[in-house]
Amino acid sequence: MAKVKCAIIGSGNIGTDLMIKIMRTSKNLEMGAMVGIDPNSDGLARAARLNVPVTHEGIAGLLALPNYKDIQVVFDATSAGAHVHNNELLQRDGKKVIDLTPAAIGPFTIPVINGDANIDEPNVNMVTCGGQATIPMVYAVKRAAGRVIYGEIVASISSKSAGPGTRANIDEFTETTSKAIEVLGGAERGKAVIILNPAEPPLIMRDTVFTLSQGGDREAIEASILAMEAEVKKYVPGYRLKQKVQFEVIGDNAPVRIPGIGYCSGLKTTILLEVEGAAHYLPAYAGNLDIMTSAALVTADHWAAKFLAKEAA
């Protein structure tokens, strides 16, 4: 069966996990190259053992590989700053780019929200790990309630699952996720917080979502949240609600002040999530990696299926 060749730029935690997922589970993609900048990285060593072409010379090394012309899809798992340069070169050569950094050059993409809507865009952005885990829940409230005035997410991940790329992009994480809460989640105002937890043994990824909404009722909102949980589970089996959805009425007699909007009343919804990873590379506590790479793989796989169908026609 024909498959589309892909390359991964970034041989750290995210890139290595993604490589293993592609090789084990992808229906339409096959590895064409693993690209890094550290010749001693574990990701490059693993790729070489798996007979994947490798280079430690970054984007320049990728462009120089003999099979570069055959690569159709490139995943970028480096940093927001590096992605700007990488994307410029890749677009020049007509490559499909899946951006796993917070650079947000292309449109935000979360499979369960806008799925294939951006499938033909030359560059799509996978938001952030926290965004992939939590924004579907903001959207779930929005579709049931009608109006979400405020959406706030707190993503707590183990320090051990946060590599140098993640640590270098904390500001970009909060800015990109906050914007995506509004653009994709439908909240009028969004806020994102990330916590790197150094606890030993490492803790599994936990996420808290707060929304303030108007319209709809508790039963409809909870049903929408449960349906969304089931949708995300289709590609991230370890995604689950940690406990029952919580509600609190914010009355007109004690409204809350939303920056940029003013004093508001409504229904506060609290959603507590847990994301357990598939342990393809790092242990199961690294659900933040799993949901990011799984979302990127689903997106690229759908594009590759469309590409292969067009080629066969």
Q: Does residue 275 sit in the same domain as residue 142?
A: yes
Give the pLDDT confidence of 226-265 residue by residue, as tens digits: 999 999 999 999 999 999 999 999 999 999 999 999 999 9
Percentage of residues of the chain with pLDDT beyond 70:
100
Rounded Cα distance between 193 and 196, Å, is 10
Number of H helices, E strands in the chain: 10, 14
Domain of residue 83, CATH code = 3.40.50.720
Predicted local confidence at residue 116, as pLDDT: 86
Q: Does residue 116 sit in the same domain as residue 193?
A: no
Percentage of residues of the chain with pLDDT beyond 90:
92
Q: What's the whole-number average pLDDT of the chain?
A: 96
Q: Choosing from 129, 140, 145, 221, which is the catalytic residue? A: 129
Active site residue 129: yes
Burial label for 299, CB within 10 Å (0-12, 13-18, 19+), is buried
Give the pLDDT confidence of 121-149 residue by residue, as tens digits: 999 999 999 999 999 999 999 999 999 99
Rounded Cα distance between 233 and 93, Å, is 35
Q: Does residue 157 sit in the same domain as residue 174?
A: yes
Rounded to two decimals, the pTM is 0.95
Q: Does residue 207 sit in the same domain as residue 244?
A: yes
Predicted local confidence at residue 172, as pLDDT: 87
Rounded Cα distance between 83 and 99, Å, is 8
Q: Does residue 151 sit in the same domain as residue 23?
A: no
Q: Does residue 265 sit in the same domain as residue 277?
A: yes
Rounded Cα distance between 71 and 213, Å, is 45
Rounded Cα distance between 230 and 245, Å, is 15
Give the pLDDT confidence of 97-124 residue by residue, as tens digits: 999 999 999 999 999 999 889 999 999 9
Q: Does residue 211 sit in the same domain as residue 119?
A: no
Q: Does residue 260 sit in the same domain as residue 153?
A: yes
Predicted local confidence at residue 129, as pLDDT: 93
Q: At a CB cut-off of 8 Å and minimum separation 6, what does 198 contact?
A: 159
Predicted local confidence at residue 266, as pLDDT: 98
User: Looking at the predicted structure, is the pLDDT value of residue 162 above 90?
Assistant: no
**What's the structural domain count of the chain?**
2
CA-nearest of 263, 242, 238, 233 to 150 is: 263
Rounded Cα distance between 130 and 173, Å, is 8
Q: Does residue 86 sit in the same domain as residue 134?
A: no
Rounded Cα distance between 277 and 281, Å, is 9
Predicted local confidence at residue 313, as pLDDT: 81
Domain span including residue 8: 4-127+291-312
Q: Does residue 47 sit in the same domain as residue 142?
A: no
Average pLDDT rounded to a whole number, residues 263-271: 98
Q: Does residue 114 sit in the same domain as residue 228?
A: no
Give the pLDDT confidence of 187-235 residue by residue, as tens digits: 999 999 999 999 999 999 999 999 999 998 999 999 999 999 999 999 9
Q: Does residue 105 sit in the same domain as residue 52?
A: yes
Rounded Cα distance between 2 and 21, Å, is 18
Give the pLDDT confidence of 19-30 residue by residue, as tens digits: 999 999 999 999
Domain of residue 246, CATH code = 3.30.360.10
Give the pLDDT confidence of 85-99 residue by residue, as tens digits: 999 999 999 999 999
Predicted local confidence at residue 122, as pLDDT: 97
Predicted local confidence at residue 240, as pLDDT: 98
Rounded Cα distance between 201 and 158, Å, is 9
Rounded Cα distance between 96 and 28, Å, is 14
